[in-house]
Amino acid sequence: MFAIVEIAGLQYKVEQDQKLFVNRLKGDKGGKVSFDKILLTVNGAITVGAPAVSGITVEAEILDHVKADKVIVFKKKRRKGYEVKNGHRQSLTQIKITGITGFDAKKAEKPAKKTTKKADAESAE
């Protein structure tokens, strides 16, 4: 069972008990967060949202706030004496997915079976 979820503007494929780094989230270390913008779920059957799947939430726990490795930005123009060196460290939050909930309610609301025009024509004959 997994889900594609949008966290802080980026899409991640998440599973139960998975640890991942995302852009900095509000909240303290050890706090709980939930995400409700689920784009796709797979639990035996594939459910694609348009734009999001309703009734499904992803629960996560904040493990730590960290900084990523430094990225060096170096600019130079030849023969002009122009050199600029800058560094950047992205602020990240490490989270652990504790659960994907809401599948039970989804099973209770089974939609009516859709029929096609071809199936309707064959049953009329």
Residue 4 forms part of a structural domain: yes
Q: Establish if 120 belongs to a structural domain.
A: no
Query: What local confidence, expressed as pLDDT, does residue 46 receive?
Result: 86
Q: Are strands 38-43 and 71-77 parallel, antiparallel or unpaired?
A: unpaired
Question: What's the number of domains the chain is made of?
Answer: 1
pLDDT for position 113: 53
**pLDDT of amino acid 108:** 45
pLDDT along the chain (125 residues), means of 10: 92 95 95 93 87 91 97 98 97 96 62 58 63
pLDDT of residue 43: 86
Judge whether 36 lies within some domain. yes
**Is the entire prediction scored with pTM above 0.95?**
no
